[in-house]
Chain A
Amino acid sequence: MRPTSKPDSPALKARTFQCMGTVIGLTVPMAGNDDGGSRAATEEALGSAADAVERIFRELDGQFSLYRPDSEASRVARREVTPKETSAGFRDRYAEAANWRLLTEGSFTPERPDGAPDLSGLVKGYAVQEAGAALASLGLTDWCLNAGGDVLVSGSPIVGTAATWQAGIVDPQDRGTLLAAYPLGGGTTARALATSGSAERGDHIWTRATGPSEFLQVSVAAADIVTADVLATAIVAGGLPMLNRATDGWDVQVLAVRRDGGLLATPGFRA
C-alpha cells in the first residue's frame, strides 16, 4: 500500500486520528531545507496543530453524533431535551442547517424521516471549518485538512510558492482509482472540496424522492468547506434540478457521476 516516494513531489508530513466514524488527517509541508532542526520544528508544530484539530472534532462529535447515546443530539432525538433546552451551540447549528434547507429548497435537510434533528450532514463540514480557523489562529499558513474525504486547504504544499494542492477525486465505480483532480489553495480562490455519494453510507443523505439518487457521487469545490459539503449532499439528494440550482446560485464547480458512470461537470473541471 505504501507508494514509492517521488523525488519531485513535495515533502509532506501528516498526522491522522479517528473521529466521527472516519479518519481525519492533517498534512503540512516540511520546512524548506533538510537539516534536522527545521524537521523537528515542523513535526512539533504539526503535533500541536493536530492536537488542536482533534480537540475540536472530539467536542463536536460528543455533542452532535447520533451514534453516541450520551450526545446532546441523541438526547434531543429521544425527546429527553426540548429544543428550547438545547445549548446555544446546538441551536446555532440547527439554525444553520435549517437555513441551508431553505437555500436548497429542501434538498438538504437537518432532520431524519422520523423528524428527529440530524445535524451530521452539517457538523463534519463545520468541524473542518472550525479546525481550519484554529490552524489559522496558530499561525499556520500551509496545510491540508481531510476529514473522510472532505478537504480544506490553506496556502501551498510547497512553502513559499503559489503551487496548488492537488486533490484527487475517487472513482465511485473503482475506489482504487482516481476519476479526476482539482487544484485547491495556492493562487486559487477554491479552498474546499467535498464529495458525497449514494453508494457508500448513503443512509446519511435523506432523499425526498423515494427512489435512489440519480448520482452515484457528487463533488463540489467552493471557497468554504460547509458550502461545498452541504451542496454535495444536497445535489445527491436533489438530483439534476439541485445541481443546476447550485451552479446558478453559488460560485462552485461541480463534478457529478451518474448511475451509469457518465459525468456531468462544470467548466472548472474540464481539462
Chain B
Amino acid sequence: MRIRAVVSATLASAGILLAGWQSGAHVAESASAVGTTAGTAGTGTTGTGSAKSGLGSSAGGSTSGSAASGDTSSGTGTSGSGASGSSGSSSGSSSAGGTFTGDSVQTRFGSVQVQISVSGGKITDVKALQLTDEDRRSVQISNRAAPLLRSEVLQAQSANVQTISGATVTSSAYLTSLQAALDAAHL
C-alpha cells in the first residue's frame, strides 16, 4: 500500500510534468496537438486524485509547484494548468529533449522526486527517485516489474548453476530436464 501510494504520487507528479511540458511543446508545434495535451492533462489529474488518499501534501505540492525545475535543460514547463490546454511557457522546439526533474516532495517515506527523460518530443522514461537524508543520493524506489530484453536479465549457463527452477517438472519430464543433468553430475 505504501509503495502504491508513492507510485501514485510520483505518477501524479510525472503526469503534471508531462502535461506542462507537452502543452508547451505541442502548442508551439501545432493546433492539432491541443487534443493530445488535454488528454495528457487528464492523466495528470487522475494521478493527483489517487495520490490524495495517502499523500495529500505531495499532491498539493506538485500541483502548485508543477514544474520541472529543469536542471539539465533551460526549457522549463511551468504550466500548472495543463487541463485548459493553454498557457505554459513553451519549452522550445518539438525536438527538445533532456532530463527533467520535478520538485522534491516530502512524504512519510522521505523525499520523493520524479524525473522524466524526453527525447524527440516524447517521454522515454519516468523514474521515481528517493533522496536519502544522508547524502541526497537518489535511488530508484519502484519494485514494479518492467519490460526487459532477454539480454538484460541476469544470465546463466547450465554449466555454472547449481540448481534449476522451472514450472513443476513431472517425474517423467524430469528425466530429460536440466535438473536431471545437474543431479546426474552430483549423484
B148 touches A149 (CB 8 A): no
Which candidate, A97-105, A110-118, A131-139, A175-183, is the interface stretch facing chain B?
Answer: A175-183
Number of A residues with CB within 8 Å of any CB on chain B: 74
A264 touches B148 (CB 8 A): yes
Q: A189-221 interface mask toward B, CB cutoff 8 Å, 1 = contact, 0 = none?
A: 000011111111100100000000000010100
A201 touches B145 (CB 8 A): no
- Contacts A1-B184, A23-B171, A178-B157 given; does A262 touch B147 at CB 8 Å: yes
**In the complex, chain B residues whose CB is within 8 Å of the CB of A124:** 168
Smallest CB separation, A84 vs chain B (Å): 32
A149 touches B167 (CB 8 A): yes
Task: Flag whether A270 is at the interface (Cβ < 8 A).
Answer: yes
Task: Flag whether B140 is at the interface (Cβ < 8 A).
Answer: yes
B160 touches A9 (CB 8 A): yes
- Contacts A167-B164, A178-B156, A178-B157 given; does A254 touch B145 at CB 8 Å: yes
Task: Flag whether B135 is at the interface (Cβ < 8 A).
Answer: no
- Select the residue from B1, B163, B176 with max chain A CB neighbours within 10 A: B163
Kindly state the interface size class of chain B when it binds its partner. 35 or more
Residue in B closest to A2 when the chains form the complex, CB atoms: B184
Task: Flag whether A52 is at the interface (Cβ < 8 A).
Answer: no
Please name 7 further chain A to chain B contacts, defined as beta carbons within 8 Å, in addition to the given A149-B167, A166-B156, A170-B165, sorted by A numbering: A2-B185, A18-B171, A27-B186, A201-B167, A264-B147, A266-B146, A271-B153
B153 touches A248 (CB 8 A): no
A170 touches B167 (CB 8 A): yes
Task: Flag whether B180 is at the interface (Cβ < 8 A).
Answer: yes
Residue in B closest to A150 when the chains form the complex, CB atoms: B165
- Contacts A178-B156, A180-B155 given; does A167 touch B145 at CB 8 Å: no
Task: Flag whether B30 is at the interface (Cβ < 8 A).
Answer: no
